[in-house]
Chain A
Amino acid sequence: MLRVWNLSLLVSTFSLTILGTFLTRSGVLNSVHAFSESAIGPWLLAFFAIIVIVSIGLIGWRGDRLHAPGSIDSVVSRAGAFLINNVLFALFAFVVLLGTVFPLVVEALQSRSIVVGAPFFDQLVAPIGIALLTIMAIAPVLPWRKASAELLSTRLFWPAWCGIGALGISVALGATGFMPLLTFALGGFASGSALRQVVLATRKQGLRGLVGRTNGGMIVHVGVILIAVALAASNSFTHSQELFLKTGTPAYFSGHSFELIEIVEETTDRAISVKALISIDGGKAYAPAITKYTKVGMNIGTPSVKTGILGDIYLTLEPPVKQDSGEAHIKVFIKPLLVWLWIGGFLMAIGTLLAAFPGRRRKPTDATSALIGSNDVE
C-alpha cells in the first residue's frame, strides 16, 4: 500500500537536496540576479529541472500501475500514526521551502527585497512541533492495527501524569506563556510514553531491553523531546541587559555577578583585537572582543559564552571601547536550557546506535501472529 506516496517522498527528498545545493551554490539567496552571474548556478538548475521533470512525468504516467492492495484499517493505530507523522513532516518541509524561496520570488516579481526571518519559522513550526509531540506521546502505546479507547487510557495513564507533573514544575518555576507551557506538558507526556516502553522492556529482558528498533527508537524520541523543550525554553525565555562595567565594581543581572577584570589589546598583522576580560560569578574570566581587520577595515564582534546545565550566558562587547578608561559596555544574554539542544542531539545519535543492534527476534517456529517478546509488551 502507499507505494506511490513512498515513491513521491523519495523523489522529493532527492530533488530538494539538489535544490538546496543550487540555492547555496548559485548565490541566488543574496539576490535573484546573482544567479546569472555564477558559473555553476545554471548547471545545477538544469540538473534540478531534469530530475523533477523526469520523476514527476514517470509518476504521473505509470504511478497508478504501482497500486497495491492493503490498507490501514483505522486512524487510531500505529500505522495510522506513522502516516499522520509523514504528512506533518512533509508540511514542515513545505514551510521551510516556502520561507526560503519566497523572498526570491517576490524579488523576481516586484524588484524589492523582503526578509523572511527566524520568527516566521518559529511561529509556523511551533504548532507543527506540538502536533508531532502529541503523536510521539500516543504512538508508542498504539498497537499496529486498531486500538480501543480502553486500551489507550490504561497505557497512557502514567505518561499523562508525567505530562501534568512537567507542567506543574514549569509553572512553579515561573514559566509563562501558553505555547511554551504546552510544549513542556506534551514533552513530559511523550517522555513518559517513551520511558514506559523502555522500562517495561528492561524489566522483561534486562539490558537487552535497551536495544533494538523499538527501544532504540524510544531513546531517539527522548532526544527529540529534549530538543523541542530546549528550543521552547530558549526562544521564549531569553532575556538580556546592557551593563556598564567599571574595573573592581561587579554588576548584577538575573542572579549572576559580572566583574570587569581588565581590557587587553592584542595585535597581529591581520587584526587588532580588543578584549574585555569579565569574571562571571567570581569564577573564570570570559572575553568578548571586538576585532578590527586592518585590510578590510570591518569591526567584527566576537561573543563569549559560558555554558551551563540551566542555561547559557552570552556576553558581547559593545563599541566604542575606550582602552585605558577601565570601563566596558557589555550586553548580557541569558538563554535558558540551551545546552539540552546538544544533549538531545547526542541522545538521538545514541538511540540510533542502539536501534541498529538486533532486538529480540521472533522465533522461526512461532506462528506469524505470535507476540514477540520485546515489541508488544503488556
Chain B
Amino acid sequence: MLSKKKAKPVAPIAATVVGVVLLGLLWVLVGAKPNPSDNADSPLLGQPAPAVVTTTLEDKPFDLSRRKGSWVVLNFFNSTCVPCRIEHPLLLTFAQNQLSTDNPAEIYTVINDDDDSAVLAFFAENKGDWQKIRDNDGTIAVAFGVAKVPETWIVDPNGYVRLRIAGQLSEGLLDEQMSMLKVQFGS
C-alpha cells in the first residue's frame, strides 16, 4: 500500500471562515431594529428655509419669506396618496386647536404632482380652508428634499426650519411638537 501524504486541513479552515461570515450576516439581518423616531433628519434643520415663491390655487402670489412673524406649517400633499388622506383629519384638528393659541400657526398645503382640480375636489369634500400652493415642476419639493408624500415641515417666525416629519402624522404629534417648539424658540 502506498503511503498517504498528510493533506493540509484546508476544508475545516475554509468552512469555519465562511460559516462565521454567514452567521454574522444572519445575525445582523435578524437583529435589525426599526428606527423609532418620527422626526426625520435634514440638513435644513436650523437653517433658513429655502425660498418658496409660487401661486396659490386661487391664483394669488405666495412667498414664504413674507410669512415671517408667524409659525408656518408646510404639508406636502397629493390627493391620491393614501397616508395623506388618512392624516387629513389630524390636520383639521390641529388647525382648529391653533385658533385658540395666541400665535396660531399658518398651514399651507404644498401640492405634489397633482391636478388642481383633484386637490380642489378633495378639499371640497373633506374640508380644510387654508391656502393650497402649487409646485408645478417640483422645485419646492427638491429644495426641501421631499421625495415621498406626506411630509410636514415647521418653519419658525424668523424663517428658520425647525422640524421635519416624514410620513403619516400620528395622533396629537403635530400639536405636541408645535407647543414644544413655541416654548423652545419663544412664541
Contacts and interface: CB of A to CB of B under 8 A. Distances in A.
Q: Helix, strand, loop or mixed for chain B's interface?
A: helix
B22 A52 contact: yes
Contact of B32 (A32, A45, A52): A32
A298 B80 CA distance: 8
A372 interface: no
Given A297-B80, A297-B118, A108 B28 contact: yes
B7 A67 contact: yes
A61 interface: yes
B29 A61 contact: no
Interface in B50-90: 78-80
A309 interface: no
Interface in A73-108: 101, 104-105, 107-108
Nearest to B13: A60
A59 B79 contact: no
A64 B79 contact: no
Interface string B19-63: 100100110111110110000000000000000000000000000
A310 interface: no
A108 B31 contact: yes
A52 B21 CA distance: 11
Given A52-B22, A53-B19, A32 B12 contact: no
A67 B18 CA distance: 20
B186 interface: no
A60 B15 contact: yes
Contacts of B11: 4, 59-60, 63-64
A56 interface: yes
Nearest to A53: B19
A49 B29 CA distance: 12
Interface residues of B, number: 26
A32 B79 contact: no
A59 B11 CA distance: 6
B10 interface: yes
Nearest to A111: B35
Contacts of A152: none
Nearest to A63: B11
A33 interface: yes
A109 B29 contact: no
A111 B35 CA distance: 7
A56 B15 contact: yes
Interface string A45-60: 1000100110011011
Given A52-B19, A108-B32, A298-B80, 6 more contacts: A33-B32, A35-B32, A59-B11, A63-B12, A67-B7, A105-B25
Interface of A: 4, 8, 28, 32-33, 35, 45, 49, 52-53, 56-57, 59-61, 63-64, 67, 101, 104-105, 107-109, 111, 296-299
8 contacts: A28-B29, A32-B32, A33-B32, A35-B32, A60-B15, A67-B7, A298-B80, A299-B113
